[in-house]
């Protein structure tokens, strides 16, 4: 049994078994469908064959492989108690969810939605002319730093700026032929 689990631990071997589930296949077909070389596929098939997970039959120059279900039935039998454990847990979850009310609102009176409070603090001196509703000062320390705005990009978005122009030069008069 442990050797079957060791054999199945390799993802390439599991992929080979997945391909063989559809039916018997020649080695060349397995190589074409896997990202493995032919010698590597042959080594994996040998391990699967020695573990009793696949059978091989020779037809002329071709070897055809198929799954042997008996060792997989042993793995399935070993997994059965774990499957029952999961089924019991899932059944308990289903019963719990079925017992929950379908209405997502909590039981009790309908909550009243109050208007949110005003986030501005109350004016400590409501008679003062410069209350919190007054216009803020126009100059802050951040505003006193020199600011040099970047000129706008003259090119429309998605187009390249024009290539810089070269000064035009007169053709050379001495090399005309």
Write 96-99 long-range contacts (CB < 8 A, 24+): none
Reported as a single tens digit per residue, the pLDDT across 114-131 is: 666 666 666 666 555 554
CA angle 69, 72, 74 (to 5 degrees): 115
Reported as a single tens digit per residue, the pLDDT across 143-167 is: 555 555 555 555 555 555 555 555 5
pLDDT grade for 177, boundaries at 50, 70 and 90:
very low
Write 50-56 long-range contacts (CB < 8 A, 24+): 51/3, 51/4, 51/7, 52/4, 53/4, 53/7, 53/8, 53/13, 53/17, 54/16, 54/17, 54/20
Q: Which of 9-13, 97-101, 170-174 has the lowest mean pLDDT?
A: 170-174
**Inter-CA distances, 34 with 40, 75, 82, 157, Å:** 10, 25, 31, 48
- pTM, 2 dp: 0.49
The answer to whether the beta carbons of residues 16 and 29 sit under 8 Å apart is: no
């Amino acid at each position: 049994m442990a050797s079957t689990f060791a054999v199945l631990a390799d993802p390439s071997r599991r992929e080979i078994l997945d391909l063989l589930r559809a039916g018997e296949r020649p080695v060349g077909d397995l190589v074409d469908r896997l990202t493995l070389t032919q010698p590597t596929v042959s080594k994996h098939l040998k391990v699967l064959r020695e573990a009793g997970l696949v059978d091989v039959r020779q037809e002329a120059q071709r070897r055809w492989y198929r799954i042997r279900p008996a060792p997989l039935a042993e793995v399935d039998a070993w997994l059965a108690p774990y499957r029952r454990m999961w089924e019991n847990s899932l059944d308990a979850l289903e019963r719990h969810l079925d017992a929950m009310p379908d209405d997502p609102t909590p039981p009790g009176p309908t909550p009243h939605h109050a208007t949110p409070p005003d986030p501005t603090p109350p004016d400590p001196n409501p008679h003062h002319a410069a209350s919190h509703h007054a216009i803020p000062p126009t100059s802050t320390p951040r505003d006193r730093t020199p600011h040099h705005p970047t000129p706008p990009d003259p090119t429309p978005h998605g187009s390249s700026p024009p290539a810089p122009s070269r000064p035009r030069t007169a053709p050379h008069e001495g090399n005309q032929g």
